[in-house]
Structure 1
Amino acid sequence: MTTDLRPENIDWKDLGFSYIKTDYRFISYYKDGSWDEGTLTEDNQLHISEGSTALHYGQQCFEGMKAYRTADGSIQLFRPYENAKRMKLSCERLLMPVFPEEKFVEAIKKVVKANEEWVPPYGTGSTLYIRPFIIGIGDNIGVKPADEYIFSAFVMPVGPYFKGGLKPSNFLVTDYDRAAPKGTGAAKVGGNYAGSLLPGKEAKERSFSDAVYLDPETHTKIEEVGAANFFGITKDDLFITPKSSSILPSITKYSLLWLAENRLNLKVSEGDVYIDQINQFKEAGACGTAAVIAPIGGLQIKDDFHVFYSETEVGPVTKRLYNELVGIQTGDVEAPEGWIVKV
């Protein structure tokens, strides 16, 4: 995909998940103890000091969000205040200044509005992906927090994260750890993802979609699926997701927990998901902003391969959850109060 593409030349139904340079991005600078007002810019290049803490000590965090075109042509955001709150937690973990929640949401609305023609049409299955981030910058060299920071948000139209959309795919349980106990697993920081590249590569080389990580302390419980959260539906209709201090608190996961209980009338739980007890699940999946829901067909656990509902068909509960969630995001299903913000 070329980065100089224009909206009028895009096949909206055949988009992948790759970078496209859009017209504007929002940028704000933190200096002398406060954030400036921020501005929209056409420049997609950052100009930072070689001593920036983001480059040397990983002092940076980011978010992932989407904007959706509805049937009436309007544009809406899905739970943006939850992204603002999660970025606040990431900043606090890395001793970075918090970008205020209201300013965060206003910045996102501005950058989406400025790139309105890049928001894919309703019904195409594509969305506008939004990437806010904060990095430590300035002339630093010691291991300490920076005095200056950048908050920025850029956007691009994307298709499904996993090719094929809502189709089951297989995953490999890895021996690698995604995060350390009491580390930065619950913060959305780049180092978590850099460390996942090797196990992800090894999984793909064996024809799996990605790696599944077990808990770093005991290696007995499922924690994350690649860059997404895990969920399972037991044979007695309990919707369960792992609970751990080293799991990223997924906004999609918590939305599915609410929908499973309040719209599908399932029992729900956040708790331990032991790898040797996966026979209890009739369906399983990965969930996140980029992936939405990726049904898990089968799971390779050392020499054993376990199939959940099917390697080719999506389970009925997973399909209902997907339709409910995507319906809310695209404006076709009534949203719980406060979940949708219009641009």
Structure 2
Amino acid sequence: MRPAFPLVRTTTPVPEAERRAVLAAPGFGKHFTDHMATAAWTTAEGWHDRRVGPLAPFSLHPSASVLHYAQEIFEGLKAYRHTDGGVRLFRPEFNARRFARSAERLALPVLPEEDFLASVEELVRADEAWVPGAGGEASLYLRPYMFASEAFLGVRPAEEVVYSVIASPAGPYFPGGVTGITLWVSSRYTRAGRGGTGAAKCGGNYASSLAAQIEAREHGCDQVLFLDDTGGKGDLEESGTMNLCLVTSGGELVTPGLGTILDGVTRDSILALAAEFGLTRVERAVTFAELRAGAADGSVTEVFAAGTAAVITPIVALKGEGFEFTVGGGAPGKYTLDIRGHLLDIQYGRAEDRYSWLRRVV
């Protein structure tokens, strides 16, 4: 059977010695594989020209809609090498469904789930040699994205769109071991408002977060904590590009409810695993005042952020205008480290996949 995204193999692959050198220390988002998946959409033809071909630049007219109105979305997921030599994806169906919701919010055409999955799988098969070896926390990061390519300056949904997937080998997020980070509680910036694009994975959300990240670093912090209101008050939303989770002394795993935040794959997986660690999952609004008081009286024992890149990042301290405090003694908590370790073990095949989250590609 002909694949949905047929392969046109590059005639100039990266030399093997160079590829091996990259895989020995890939970093994150610095190097890219030999191929890319692409498809085109127009109002007249729908989705067409699906293929996996050589990695190459796009040629865009200076009036391309994406350059002027930011009509674009993206996703992020990983492929993992197991000890049997095979390669698995982790919950790609979740990414496909979220991609569709983001497309609807940005008035882009919805890519069928089967096309999303086929494009990712065929690219991994084409560039299997770029998937790092088993052991450790290295993986192949996959970036599906879609953008408005139509040459037109009117403010309306584009009638020509490009979809693509590129891949980049990724090393361990914490090469020196998992350490805690400090968050800056921004009193100047918010991430998203009700009815906005907070639940969509689009570039505008990330571009608007950069000023807050600069602010955080200027105050000696690693990342920013967004609230749903300015002035250092309001409900918790996200930590930079990651979902936020709290562990309480009463055995609850608490995370802000959906609405203006991203429905994270890692967040959803952690909630599913909570009961295995004796924790009760709770999704509800959490005020910053509650977090601060809980850290002080010991009712909030751990705080961590969750996302595809780092899986789980311990948060050990928070700072803001006129205050600074630690959580759980200022060190990564036991639940934080145990949940992180277990989720990684599932992804890399070291623990039983009881939830059927893994999808074998190779």
Equivalences for residues 256-267 of structure 1 within 5 A: 256-261=270-275, 263-267=276-280
Give the residue type in structure 2 aligned to 1:284: V
* In the alignment, structure 1 residue 307 sits paired with structure 2 residue 319: no
Task: Determine which of 83, 94, 97 is the counterpart of 2:106.
Answer: 94
Indicate the residue corresponding to 2:40 in structure 1. Answer: 29
Report the Cα distance in structure 2 between the residues aligned to 1:143 and 1:333, rounded to whole angstroms.
50
Against the structure 1 CA distance between its residues 288 and 22, is the aligned structure 2 distance closer, same or farther, given a 3 Å change threshold?
same
Report the Cα distance in structure 2 between the residues aligned to 1:283 and 1:49, rounded to whole angstroms.
50
Indicate the larger mover: 74-83 or 265-274: 265-274
Against the structure 1 CA distance between its residues 161 and 184, is the aligned structure 2 distance closer, same or farther, given a 3 Å change threshold?
farther
Query: 2:23 touches 2:132 (CA, 8 Å); kept in 1?
Result: no
Query: 1:232 touches 1:281 (CA, 8 Å); kept in 2?
Result: yes
Structure 2 unaligned regions, length at least 5: 1-13
Report the Cα distance in structure 1 between the residues aligned to 2:309 and 2:177, rounded to whole angstroms.
11
Report the Cα distance in structure 1 between the residues aligned to 2:190 and 2:177, rounded to whole angstroms.
28
SS of alignment partner, residue 98 of structure 1: coil
Report the Cα distance in structure 2 between the residues aligned to 1:85 and 1:216, rounded to whole angstroms.
29
Query: 2:190 touches 2:230 (CA, 8 Å); kept in 1?
Result: no
Report the Cα distance in structure 2 between the residues aligned to 1:303 and 1:292, rounded to whole angstroms.
31
Task: Determine which of 2, 21, 29 is the counterpart of 1:18.
Answer: 29
SS of alignment partner, residue 221 of structure 2: coil
Report the Cα distance in structure 2 between the residues aligned to 1:58 and 1:118, rounded to whole angstroms.
31
**1:120 offset after TM fit, Å?**
0.9
Indicate the residue corresponding to 2:215 in structure 1. Answer: 202
Query: 1:281 touches 1:308 (CA, 8 Å); kept in 2?
Result: yes
Query: 1:137 touches 1:146 (CA, 8 Å); kept in 2?
Result: yes
SS of alignment partner, residue 196 of structure 1: helix
Query: 1:179 touches 1:216 (CA, 8 Å); kept in 2?
Result: no
SS of alignment partner, residue 100 of structure 2: helix
**1:52 offset after TM fit, Å?**
1.7
Equivalences for residues 70-85 of structure 1 within 5 A: 70-85=82-97
* In the alignment, structure 1 residue 114 sits paired with structure 2 residue 132: no
SS of alignment partner, residue 122 of structure 2: helix
Query: 2:76 touches 2:142 (CA, 8 Å); kept in 1?
Result: yes
Give the fraction of aligned pairs with identical amino acids, expressed as a percent: 35
CA offsets, 1:240-299, max 9 Å, x none?
Answer: 1011411011111010000012x2131111111111111131001010111210000111
CA offsets, 1:293-337, max 9 Å, x none?
Answer: 0000111132222211243x4211111101111011101111133
* In the alignment, structure 1 residue 324 sits paired with structure 2 residue 353: no
Indicate the residue corresponding to 1:67 in structure 2. Answer: 79
Task: Determine which of 143, 146, 151 is the counterpart of 2:155.
Answer: 143
* In the alignment, structure 1 residue 166 sits paired with structure 2 residue 178: yes
Task: Determine which of 237, 240, 263 is the counterpart of 2:251.
Answer: 237
* In the alignment, structure 1 residue 251 sits paired with structure 2 residue 270: no
CA offsets, 1:65-94, max 9 Å, x none?
Answer: 001111111100000000000000000011
Against the structure 1 CA distance between its residues 110 and 11, is the aligned structure 2 distance closer, same or farther, given a 3 Å change threshold?
closer
Report the Cα distance in structure 2 between the residues aligned to 1:15 and 1:211, rounded to whole angstroms.
26
Against the structure 1 CA distance between its residues 164 and 297, is the aligned structure 2 distance closer, same or farther, given a 3 Å change threshold?
farther
Report the Cα distance in structure 1 between the residues aligned to 2:33 and 2:23, rounded to whole angstroms.
16
CA RMSD of aligned residues (A): 1.8
Indicate the residue corresponding to 1:58 in structure 2. Answer: 70
Q: TM-score, normalised by structure 1?
A: 0.94
Query: 2:136 touches 2:172 (CA, 8 Å); kept in 1?
Result: no
Indicate the residue corresponding to 2:195 in structure 1. Answer: 182
SS of alignment partner, residue 254 of structure 2: strand
SS of alignment partner, residue 66 of structure 1: strand
**1:180 offset after TM fit, Å?**
2.0
**1:162 offset after TM fit, Å?**
5.8
**1:168 offset after TM fit, Å?**
0.8
SS of alignment partner, residue 38 of structure 1: strand
**1:161 offset after TM fit, Å?**
4.2
Larger C-alpha radius of gyration, 1 or 2?
2
Q: TM-score, normalised by structure 2?
A: 0.89
Query: 1:60 touches 1:135 (CA, 8 Å); kept in 2?
Result: yes
Equivalences for residues 267-306 of structure 1 within 5 A: 267-278=280-291, 279=294, 280-306=299-325
Equivalences for residues 40-55 of structure 1 within 5 A: 40-55=52-67
Structure 1 unaligned regions, length at least 5: none
Report the Cα distance in structure 2 between the residues aligned to 1:146 and 1:165, rounded to whole angstroms.
45
